Structure 1
Amino acid sequence: MAKHKKLSLIVVVLWMALIFSLSHQPASKSSEMSSGITKFVIEAAEQILPVAETDFDQFEHIVRKNAHFFIYLILGILVIHASGGSGSHSFKRIGLAVSICVLYAMSDEFHQLFILGRSGEVRDVLIDSSGASLGIILYWFASKMLRRNKQNVLHHEQVRG
């Protein structure tokens, strides 16, 4: 296995471990962390738009759900990259990457059933899966564009050379 591939897989496992550790926090600690992030975002927004009024609880809920989405968006990117990105059989790789992320999201929510004050939510699996899917699609399109750009550069060099 190539060194780059091993490193990519290690990064995926480390990211999954981060997700696991965040999910393993009791509800009180998780809520404390998201409240801190929410307060920071609200205070920063008030510096930009001093007249903005914000319902803290509603905004905190949005922050929590967006955290699910973006954490899994990154997981999706990492998984598709570790699988070899795009190229031959890219739709198989996309399917595999989506499957890995969805299964991990399901296992993560199942894991939370055993954590004090936490629950497993189908809605969170859908949010996680949507984030991972978007990350995978963005990575695939970016890879495709980079490959096309590289081919154009090579073609122009051949024409000039």
Structure 2
Amino acid sequence: MKKRWIYGALCLIWMFVIFGMSNAQGEESQGMSDTIVIFLSKILPFVSYNDTWTFIVRKLAHFSEYAILGMLYYLFFSTYRIIGKKQILILIGCVFAYACSDEFHQLFMEGRAGQFRDVCIDTAGGATGILLWHWIYTYLLKYKQKRMPHEI
């Protein structure tokens, strides 16, 4: 029960982090992306400061922040001890719903635009996080059963 509260709190905190990033105005958001691209261009010879790399960084940010959200959703839902195909689809649906609400929120921010493409990228990131965590969870469970079959 304690884990459920912790994972639930982590989900809410991460959702607020995403909301906070989406709450940034367009110029501020662009500045964060530009800073990352400039940093990468200094350490990676194939990266140069241009619109293409800024676009890539922005979309990878979408993907990765929702991959983390997907993992957190999975951890929370796993405390109910029922994770199957149906539950994974429900979790992906939850990620999709939050991504839609996030892009809707961006419609009201100066210099930002809600885009269905970003909803798709967010959902793909969340699904990747969910499936990755499911694979890890399943692997660890099988490993534990092989190591200590008498305790299960």
TM-score by length of 2: 0.92
- Structure 1 residue runs of 4 or more that deviate by more than 3 Å after TM superposition: 85-89
- The answer as to 2:88 corresponding to 1:94 is yes
Aligned pair count? 150
The 5 Å alignment of 1:22-101 reads 22-46=21-45, 52=46, 54=48, 56-84=50-78, 88-101=82-95
- The answer as to 2:106 corresponding to 1:106 is no
Consecutive unaligned residues in structure 2, runs of 5 or more: none
Distance change in 2, residues 1:143/1:135 (3 Å): same
Q: In structure 1, what is the Cα distance between the partners aligned to 2:90 and 2:128?
A: 14
Shift of 1:86: 8.7
Q: In structure 2, what is the Cα distance between the partners aligned to 1:54 and 1:110?
A: 32
1:28-84 Cα distance to aligned partner (Å, 9 max, x none): 0000111001111111113xxxxx463521111000001100110110000011111
Equivalent residue, structure 2, for 1:49: none
Q: In structure 2, what is the Cα distance between the partners aligned to 1:44 and 1:3?
A: 43
Name the SS of the counterpart of 1:83 in structure 2: helix
Q: Is the 8 A contact 2:70 2:129 kept in 1?
A: yes
Name the SS of the counterpart of 1:54 in structure 2: coil
Q: CA-atom RMSD, angstroms?
A: 1.6
Equivalent residue, structure 2, for 1:11: 10
Q: In structure 2, what is the Cα distance between the partners aligned to 1:44 and 1:27?
A: 26
Consecutive unaligned residues in structure 1, runs of 5 or more: 47-51
Question: Which of 142, 145, 152 is equivalent to 1:151?
Answer: 145
Shift of 1:93: 2.3
Q: In structure 1, what is the Cα distance between the partners aligned to 2:11 and 2:47?
A: 39
Q: In structure 1, what is the Cα distance between the partners aligned to 2:95 and 2:79?
A: 15
Question: Which of 113, 126, 130 is equivalent to 1:132?
Answer: 126
Distance change in 2, residues 1:53/1:114 (3 Å): closer
Q: Is the 8 A contact 2:70 2:92 kept in 1?
A: yes
**What fraction of aligned residue pairs are identical, expressed as a percent?**
34
Q: In structure 2, what is the Cα distance between the partners aligned to 1:153 and 1:134?
A: 28
